[in-house]
Structure 1
Amino acid sequence: MTSRLTSEFASRLAKVALGHVTREYPNHILHGLEGPQDAKTPSELHPVFYGSYDWHSCVHGYWMLARLLHLHPEMPEAQAIRDLFATMLVPDKIGGECAYFDRPMARGYERPYGWGWLLKLGAELHGHEDPAWAEALSPLTERIVKRFRDFLPLATYPVRTGTHYNTAFALRLAADFADTVGDDTFFDLLRSTALRWYGSDTACPAWGEPSGDDFLSPALIEAECMRRLLPATEFAHWFDGFLPEIAAGQPRTLFAPASVSDRSDGKIAHLDGLNISRAWCWSSLANTLTDTDPRRPVMRDAVHRHLAAGIAHVAGDYMGEHWLASFAVLDLTETK
């Protein structure tokens, strides 16, 4: 597969997502039941985001389709995406999603990964070709913003794992929404939380990376979160102290692509996502440096090796296919 988001590659990725965002089974549900009346099928619980194996993957499948439509409106799948959005991103169906989040048992549902992706979808739909899509989604984005506002002041500690519970990744995606819609108070909350959690971190050893089911690098996504939320000069000072030996290729583990032994195993298949998301982070971080900075070529080399290791596997086995393409589009469209 290509390392550029050509129209042809966008078309291939769109076909992948269109094939799973309305595929209800297999499905992995994290659902709290208050009584027997809550034992329902995925589509009964979630009128929109019931496909793609789980709720959050379906959300970022919709994000990917919106991003591809924005960048390549000429691709053959464009009309199918428009038809999907016109059918699914409507007030009554989004109202069903809101009703789920209004349940007392859903206070921490999809926190923080799904929260971040829902706001990322909201940011992508803001100003898109049909304003009705963002308008329909807005009651749900409002609920998720409130979830962040209520939760972050209570979250004494960050979560540094390389999976769905990682807090830096959620802040990073939420920042795009706050910036896009001009919610300065929300952005300030995200920034102050990041500083409280990560501002004093120095000489990161990355000693626990990668674990057996990481799809994020705890070290690199923390750095990318800080890059997104801090002013450039402030970030440069923080980054110098956080990863001070990049020019020497250290910590060594951050520069070696992960090996994936079994792509039919959903947890092991996460490591393909780790390679792709590392490429995204390294590329974004490298773009903050001057061309003469000795760290830049080392980081760019890491981008190419990680992307080469992961991009070929975004389609194939469903355990990776239902989500990996979104990470590929994140990498190929968020950085130069």
Structure 2
Amino acid sequence: MHLSPDHATRFATATLSHLGREYPYKMDLVMAGPEDAKPPRDHHPIFHGSFDWHSCVHGWWQVLRLARRFPDLSVAAAIRARADAMLVPDKVAGELAFLDRPTATGFERPYGWAWLLALHAEAAAHDAPWAAALEPLAAAFAARFHAFLPKLTYPLRVGTHFNIAFALLLARHWAGPRDPALVALIDARAQDWFGGDADCQAWEPGGDEFLSSALTEAHLMAIVRGTRFADWFDAFLPRAAQRTPATLFTPATVSDRSDGKIAHLDGLNLSRAWCWRAIAAALPAGHPVVAEAEASALRHLDAALPHVTGDYMGEHWLASFALLALDGLADREDRS
């Protein structure tokens, strides 16, 4: 299944409709006094739509990527015009001012940090001033990764925003051509935390998870270990060729898409599809798990793609994960 112009139009149209939609909005704010009781756009001049800060950030990543992949898309001109108005230095300065608050040290750590870096990497692929405007914000979050990773004693394995493997996948993609020291730090930490993992039981999903703890870890290790990935994977999921643990091969059931937490499970299905595709591409040809991984990716896509739009609790973010599942994070990722 490939990313098509029809997918792109559907995703981008929905996302444009909420990038500037201020309410409802879930603030991540520690109030230091009554002066902080201000509307979202006063705190976040760019990322004040899409229900929350991180969803707005990856919504921007998504529409910029779609406009680049399909420059003749009917909404591509609207995307570029919106970016010209919003991704500008004075608005970035406002976002930086929020980060300078004494209580904002852990703001959006690590999920929002990583998505901002992904947005900057995508902006840099355009012939536009957007990446230059965003560069100070990207530098600020890269510095936070440099400071945080050495003191994170234990990995964050949860299936929600705090998952460290997912954040490092995005951060490493940004750092590759820009920050070799961060690449080295990420690789060292990933090996420290995950290098000895074996016989994963995959007790998932939890009731509100949108990431697979097992598969995001495996995806990260595929990037970090390169040609040495297969041996690690065979120890990590030794019965994967027999579709065990079965939960990793079975799409999650979503009982109520109007419930913002339960709707996370559509995102789990999409992010698993992305991970399974990446794992299949990283394993050597003829490996017994490749066919199962590819089939599982399709099952998860089939379960989730019809529900990317339709209810705002999913619609404000799911298209970004659908784009990952269909097209990957980097242009070089497998699209088979």
The TM-score normalised by the length of structure 1 is 0.96
Partner of 2:312: 318
1:256 to 250, 259, 264: 250
| Cα displacement string for residues 257-281 of structure 1 (whole angstroms, at most 9, x for unaligned residues) | 1000000000000000000100110
- The answer as to whether partners of 2:226 and 2:282 remain within 8 angstroms in 1 is no
Aligned to 1:221: 216
2:331 corresponds to: none
Cα deviation for residue 183 of structure 1 reads 1.5
Which residue in 2 is equivalent to 1:187?
A: 183
Matches within 5 A, 1:17-36: 17-36=15-34
- Give the drift of 1:126: 1.5
* 2:274 counterpart letter in structure 1: W
| Aligned counterpart, 1:156 | 153
- How much is the aligned-residue C-alpha RMSD, in angstroms? 1.0
Superposed counterparts of 1:247-326, under 5 Å: 247-326=241-320
Superimposed CA distance per residue, residues 100-123 of structure 1 (whole angstroms, 9 cap, x where no aligned partner): 011111000000110110011111
Q: 2-side partners of 1:116 and 1:154: how far apart?
A: 18
Per the TM alignment, residue 200 of structure 1 is displaced from its structure 2 partner at its CA by 1.2
Contact between 1:205 and 1:251, CA under 8 Å: does it hold in 2? yes
Structure 2 partner of 1:77: 75
Amino acid at match of 1:218: S
Q: Distance in 2 between matches of 1:80 and 1:228?
A: 35
> What is the 5 A alignment of 1:89-108?
89-108=87-106
- Paired residues of 1:33 and 1:39 also in contact (CA < 8 A): yes
1:143 is aligned with what amino acid?
A: A
Q: Is the 8 A contact 2:195 2:232 kept in 1?
A: yes
Counting only pairs closer than 5 Å after superposition, residues 239-254 of structure 1 correspond to structure 2 as: 239-254=233-248
Deviations 1:283-304 (A, max 9, x none): 1101122342221111111111
Give, in angstroms, the shift of residue 228 of structure 1: 1.7
Q: Name the CA distance, whole Å, in 1 between partners of 2:165 and 2:320.
A: 18
- Length, aligned pairs only: 330
Select between 155-164 and 290-299 the one with higher mean Cα deviation: 290-299
Q: 1: distance between equivalents of 2:69 and 2:168?
A: 25
Is the Cα–Cα contact under 8 Å of residues 258 and 271 in structure 1 kept in the other structure?
A: yes
Aligned-residue sequence identity (percent) comes to 52
In the other structure, the counterpart of 1:134 is 131
Residues in 2 aligned to 1:151 and 1:33: alpha-carbon distance in whole angstroms: 24
Q: 1:30 to 1:182 in 2, by over 3 A?
A: closer
**CA–CA separation in structure 2 for the residues paired with 1:255 and 1:12:** 27
Q: Which ranges of structure 1 fall in alignment gaps of 5 or more residues?
A: none
SS in 2 for 1:232: helix
Instruction: Output one character per residue of 1:9-42: Cα deviation in whole Å (capped at 9) or x when no partner.
Output: 2111110110001000011112111111112111
Q: Which amino acid aligns with 2:79?
A: I
Q: Give me the whole-angstrom Cα distance separating, in 2, the residues matched to 1:120 and 1:230.
A: 21
TM-score when normalising by structure 2: 0.96
Asked whether 1:110 is paired with 2:108, we answer yes
Q: Quote the offset at 1:54 in angstroms.
A: 0.2
Q: Is the 8 A contact 1:175 1:229 kept in 2?
A: no
C-alpha separation in 1, matches of 2:309 and 2:123: 25
Deviation of 1:212 (Å) = 0.3
